[in-house]
Amino acid sequence: MAPAQSGRVINAMSVDVEDYFQVSAFERTVSRDAWDSFERRVDTNTRRLLDIFDEYAVRSTFFTLGWVGERHPALVREIVARGHELASHGYAHRLVYDQTPEAFRDDVRRAKHVLEDAGAVEVVGYRAPSFSITDRSLWALDVLAEEGYRYDASIFPVRHDRYGIPDAPRHPHLLHRTAATLLEVPGSTVRLGSTNIPVAGGGYFRILPYAWTRWGIARLNRTEEMPAVFYLHPWEIDPEQPRLPAGWLSRFRHYRNLDVTERRLRALLTDFSFAPVATVLGSRIPEPARQQVPAGVPLH
């Protein structure tokens, strides 16, 4: 169970720091070689989130792309200076299951180096682009442990066309890997019948009514006495971002309700308590190279 303040469960707030043209939905139409030619909005949008968090005295985990950190080191420094946790979103926003283990290792090692150099802090957390650690890329967990990461937030226990391991544990749990013990921090769901329904943020937060997110997090907090792990992206508070070509489903998922996200975020920060992932999990994050309990043992 997460620590409580005034009787409230403290939930984990997180931001996946990437720009609008870097999302997986646009991979087929936006070449990585062309990224530098696009208008960058990630700096302004991320600083807007930092200001909002300051208004509500909330601190967050910022899972930041190494590509962004390399080009905006001052932003990385500001994230740290304003009291937030700096974590890795990989370097080039490549889906994990589309990479070889060697390429993935290069990507997460490069991202960790860039972010630690810019932020002058240790980076221990990782979240894969589009939650792309699935049944066919579980080898990535060993690579993360070997590269010095101590927790992963990449496995979503849902069914989805791009990601998900539906039968994965729903709450933070320890994974005993070859190199070290790794804490897995899944995307949040509620269990309805035999199905896990996502309440973790992102597109679910924008597309579905706010009442759904509020109900789901309240259920996790009150009924299961567990913290929610919430996430969003800087581009989700930017309704003026350029429109890019993609299929209708990708356009719907990306552009739907961008104009309401900030208002909903403010309601969320009023309705619930939040802190960075590392603060919520505290001593449950394994020490470096510390072997603990067998895989899948829950923390509650």
Mean pLDDT of the residues in the chain? 91
Q: What pLDDT score was predicted for residue 251?
A: 86
Q: Where are the beta strands (DSSP E) in 73-222?
A: 85-88, 125-126, 151-152, 173-176, 181-184, 189-192, 195-198
For 258, counting Cβ atoms within 10 Å of its Cβ (0-12 exposed, 13-18 middle, 19+ buried), the class is: middle
What are the residues whose beta carbons fall under 8 Å from the beta carbon of 3, sequence distance 6 or more?
10, 280, 282
In a domain, 277, yes or no: yes
In a domain, 299, yes or no: no
For 96, counting Cβ atoms within 10 Å of its Cβ (0-12 exposed, 13-18 middle, 19+ buried), the class is: buried
Q: What pLDDT score was predicted for residue 252?
A: 84
C-beta atoms surrounding 93 within 10 Å: 24
Amino acid identity of 244? L
In a domain, 175, yes or no: yes
Distance CA 142, CA 158 (A): 22
Q: Quick check: helix, strand or coil at residue 245?
A: coil
In a domain, 296, yes or no: no
Whether the predicted pLDDT of 1 surpasses 50 = no
Instruction: Provide the domain count of the chain.
Output: 1
pLDDT digits (tens, 9 = 90+) for 68-78: 999 999 999 99
What does DSSP assign to residue 242? P
Amino acid identity of 262? E
Q: How far is CA 196 from CA 9, 133, 178, 187, in A?
A: 21, 17, 29, 11
Q: Quick check: helix, strand or coil at residue 295?
A: coil
| CATH code of 110's domain | 3.20.20.370
With bands split at pLDDT 50, 70 and 90, how would you rate the model's confidence at 3?
A: very low
What are the residues whose beta carbons fall under 8 Å from the beta carbon of 203, sequence distance 6 or more?
253, 254, 256
In a domain, 171, yes or no: yes
SS3 breakdown of the chain: % helix, strand, coil, rounded to 5?
Answer: 45, 15, 40
Q: Which residue has the tokens 């283990």?
A: 101
In a domain, 278, yes or no: yes
Give mean pLDDT, residues 170-198. Answer: 93
In a domain, 18, yes or no: yes
| Domain span at 66 | 4-288
For 27-31, 65-69, 196-200, which range has the lowest pLDDT when averaged over its residues? 27-31
In a domain, 190, yes or no: yes
pLDDT digits (tens, 9 = 90+) for 106-123: 999 999 999 999 999 999
pLDDT digits (tens, 9 = 90+) for 207-258: 999 999 999 999 999 999 999 999 999 999 999 999 998 888 888 889 899 9
